[in-house]
Structure 1
Amino acid sequence: MLRGSSPASIRAGIVLVKLSLCLCNALFTTLSVLLEQRDKSVNSLTPPAYRRLGFQPLQQLHAPGSFCAVSVLVSFPAEPGWLAAPTMKLLKAAVIFALAPTLTPALALEPLSVGLAIGVASALTGYLSHPRFYCNYVECCPRAGQRLNASALKAQLDDRLFGQHLAKDVVLKAVLGFSNNPSPKKPLMLSLHGWAGTGKNFLSQILAEQVHPAGLRSKFVHLFLATLHFPHHDQVKLYKEQLQNWIRGNVSACPSSVFIFDEMDKMHPGVIDAIKPFLDYYEEVDGVSYRKAIFIFLSNAGGDLINKAALDFWTSGKRREDIQLKDLEPLLSVGVFNNKNSGLWHSSIIDRNLIDYFVPFLPLEQRHVKMCVRAEMTARGYAVDEKIVQAVADEMTYFPKGQKIYSDKGCKTVQAKLDIHEDFVMRDMKDRG
């Protein structure tokens, strides 16, 4: 026995030591579980057959306590509303269970010390389970009512997307209106059309980053490639079933999930109709609301129609910026619906008017290609050299053959073209010192 210490104070000290160690153990256990869950999806209903699409089912994680002999069992979705209360209750129960044998005599001897310890324990477990704490370690679904940053989205579109005044305006208004609506009647459905290299993928990435900061790396953003995820024509029925289960599970986990379908012009007809129930004006489908989700189609289909309309404007002496959505959207909706290579051929999604906007991406002129070159040079940390900018732009091919107005690949090959000039750029930078 320590000199000057009473049995009561020693026992209370032991209680505090055990309490501290147990809390530390609970803290590290919880952090371990949260980090384990960071890159996992949360749909416990998804069968193994769908995992080839990259979906991870909900799992039970066992984290045995080393000192307190407490076994923690966690099984929860990664959405704050589901996680906060169970975690807090779990940790408090673990602490009380571990300390129950020692608390009775200690309470009789040192009520103030033990009461203070329990208060500290409650405060720590409350802080530990607060969304602001665990969302620092695990990506969380945005809270209900959380709005997009309008100025940030506009700045990103202005700085990174070139030559697409129409797409910028339509998408900005559509997305912000949808985000600010506390009770939308249906999910937001955008269909982006235009030739390769005009910025469709770029815009979808910018939008995804604004909804979920991790962008395409987010577990709440899902990218489907027609040639990768739905390659075989004879398995359309299986794809439709898989797609429905995938979307149902992920929207259950995060209502504001984003789904991007690329290469829609290569999608087998009928596959995409599987998501029609989720796009319609239903409050819930099998107990799940899809009204906060965003669906984006990317397609080259309709690109010829857009290019012809843009060329007609140029020929008639009208400014490119005078082209309005009403000049192109009717052409796109009818053209895509009747195009057997569009993936939306005779689709019930178009027939039921479930696509909110057909967004046209105009062909890019040489001045827009130069903007892409400057942006790429800046991104690589190079000083912008207009001679290099012009050289890269001149190496692109343009149409029509006579006038050579529009780049036939947009900005798609700018990076590869700039690679050829990289040695010259580096030497120039070195010379400038």
Structure 2
Amino acid sequence: MEEIQPCAEAPELATKMSMASCPIRAMIRLRRRVRNLKKSRLHLDLSGGRALETIQSRIFQKQLSFEKTHFNSGFQNAPYFSFDTPNLEKVTLIKPKRKKKRRTNRVVMYPGGSRKYLPVEHKSKAKRCLILLVGIICFQILNAIENLDDNLQKYDLDGLEKTMHRDIFGQQLAVDSIMHLLKDYLATHIHNKPLVVSLNGPSGVGKSHMGRLLAKHFRSVMDNDFVLQYYAVHHCPQGNDVLACQRDLSGMVSDVVVRAEIEEKIPVLIFDEMEEMPPLLLDLLREYFQPNQSNEFLNAIYILISNIGGSGITKYVLQNASSDVLSQHKKLRELSGVVKSSLQQHHMLWDQAEVVPFILLEKSHIINCFLDEMLREGYYPDNGNIESLASQLKYYTQGERHYSIMGCKQVVAKVNLLH
């Protein structure tokens, strides 16, 4: 098989084809260059855009004429083309930097004859809400005060105070102390502990009479079921079964307190002759005075009447007879401390009590007791007769003052002898 010999004209043919492809490649490169120039024209600055466009068009025309000249001269004289631009022309094609214009704030000019309107200040709604909240709080406070006044009017404490000042002689500070405690406690129905008031003083100074006035008043404004008067000598005399007395006392206290809680009333329990009460009954009462109890036992008033501490009161008054004890609250507080020490030695019951001491009565107070009793019995109030009856009693003499030893206790017996 014969081998095919390459054509002798093959080298010449390859040379002609390469010479023919050179113009084609030149045209392609020219077309790309024109496309790039058109794209770059879109990013030129408006101010210098036309000048740069003129320069680039001239450069392009020179390059095009240069390529045509070499293309027409023949393939032998131009084996390849070079389209690299001179350095100067490259510099001109660099995109110029755009200068940023500085923005200046324009001055707002108002016309001479026009009126300048200031911005409107909008009022905050939170201020209105705050005013409304303050108004609601004030209304609630006034409503609470009115409720307290209504609760006090239910017990008529003003009438009780007038009665006590009229019927109790020589114990003005004691009356004021009792009324202050009652008004403060009876202002509301909810409490965390009961009110325990201890009336202490010598015999005949008005303690039992105070207890009777309190019982009479609260029976009139509430009901007999909410007031308890307990006399130790009468309800549990010596020789009786103390356990039976304890059961009876517990039943009476529970009955009064529970019924008062149902009716939303505060009961008043008065215990007289406390110095004669057995220790077992004192222990029972002490349990009722504690704060950790059911609600009905927390809303109650206990009045404890006794002669315990009477000797200390007598001694204190006689030692301070030269000063006006009745008008000095400081000395009255000192007197309460003296009585409290005697009560704590007797029993721990009085740890929870508010002590109100009753001091000795002077001769002028005894005269008032005679006058009041004679008016009750229907006798004509003869001043000479009253002076004569008052002089028959025994007194402590300290300087110019005369303090009755037995107080007004013998007044009733003396008036009864006038029948």
Structure 1 residue 309: deviation in Å? 1.1
SS in 2 for 1:242: helix
Contact 1:186 1:280 survives alignment (8 Å)? yes
Q: 1:176 aligns with which of 170, 183, 191?
A: 183
In the alignment, which residue of structure 1 is the partner of 2:15?
A: none
Contact 2:312 2:339 survives alignment (8 Å)? yes
Structure 1 residue 175: deviation in Å? 0.9
In the alignment, which residue of structure 1 is the partner of 2:392?
A: 395
CA separation in 2, counterparts of 1:194 and 1:163?
13
The letter for the 2-side match of 1:265 is E
Q: Does 1:248 align with 2:254?
A: yes
In the alignment, which residue of structure 2 is the partner of 1:300?
A: 307
> What do residues 40-72 of structure 1 show as CA deviations (whole Å, max 9, x unaligned)?
xxxxxxxxxxxxxxxxxxxxxxxxxxxxxxxxx
The letter for the 1-side match of 2:292 is Y
CA separation in 2, counterparts of 1:419 and 1:214?
32
In the alignment, which residue of structure 2 is the partner of 1:354?
A: 352
In the alignment, which residue of structure 1 is the partner of 2:208?
A: 201
SS in 1 for 2:298: coil
User: What is the alpha-carbon root mean square deviation over aligned residues?
Assistant: 2.6
Q: 1:266 aligns with which of 240, 265, 276?
A: 276
Structure 1 residue 331: deviation in Å? 1.1
In the alignment, which residue of structure 1 is the partner of 2:373?
A: 376
Structure 1 residue 265: deviation in Å? 1.1
> What do residues 154-176 of structure 1 show as CA deviations (whole Å, max 9, x unaligned)?
21011100001221111011111
In structure 2, do the counterparts of structure 1 residues 268 and 292 end up closer, same or farther at CA, with 3 Å as the change threshold? same
In the alignment, which residue of structure 2 is the partner of 1:277?
A: 287
304-313 vs 372-381, which moves further: 372-381
Which residues in structure 2 correspond to 1:48-197 (within 5 Å)? Answer: 147-197=154-204
Contact 2:325 2:332 survives alignment (8 Å)? no
Structure 1 residue 290: deviation in Å? 1.9
Q: Does 1:223 align with 2:226?
A: no
SS in 2 for 1:297: strand
The letter for the 2-side match of 1:177 is D
Percent of aligned pairs with the same amino acid: 27
Structure 1 residue 421: deviation in Å? 3.2
Structure 1 residue 404: deviation in Å? 7.2
In structure 2, do the counterparts of structure 1 residues 384 and 187 end up closer, same or farther at CA, with 3 Å as the change threshold? same
In the alignment, which residue of structure 1 is the partner of 2:414?
A: 417
SS in 1 for 2:320: helix
CA separation in 2, counterparts of 1:147 and 1:310?
38
Structure 1 residue 394: deviation in Å? 0.7
Contact 1:388 1:421 survives alignment (8 Å)? no
Structure 1 residue 319: deviation in Å? 4.3
405-414 vs 273-282, which moves further: 273-282
> What do residues 250-298 of structure 1 show as CA deviations (whole Å, max 9, x unaligned)?
21122432222111111122321202232221351xxx61233221111
SS in 1 for 2:205: coil
SS in 2 for 1:382: coil
Relative to the length of structure 1, the TM-score reads 0.56
> What do residues 133-182 of structure 1 show as CA deviations (whole Å, max 9, x unaligned)?
xxxxxxxxxx9886322321121011100001221111011111111123
Contact 2:242 2:278 survives alignment (8 Å)? yes
> What do residues 229-259 of structure 1 show as CA deviations (whole Å, max 9, x unaligned)?
2234784344333322221122112243222
Contact 2:230 2:270 survives alignment (8 Å)? yes
If you compute each CA radius of gyration, which structure gives the higher value, 1 or 2?
A: 2
Contact 2:202 2:310 survives alignment (8 Å)? yes
The letter for the 2-side match of 1:384 is P
In structure 2, do the counterparts of structure 1 residues 244 and 170 end up closer, same or farther at CA, with 3 Å as the change threshold? same
Contact 1:310 1:362 survives alignment (8 Å)? yes
The letter for the 1-side match of 2:387 is Q
CA separation in 1, counterparts of 2:255 and 2:403?
43
Structure 1 unmatched ranges of 5 or more = 1-142, 339-344, 423-433
Relative to the length of structure 2, the TM-score reads 0.58
SS in 2 for 1:388: helix
Runs of 4+ in structure 1 deviating by more than 6 angstroms, as ranges, are 143-146, 401-404
Structure 1 residue 400: deviation in Å? 4.8
SS in 2 for 1:301: coil
In structure 2, do the counterparts of structure 1 residues 291 and 210 end up closer, same or farther at CA, with 3 Å as the change threshold? farther
Contact 2:151 2:187 survives alignment (8 Å)? no
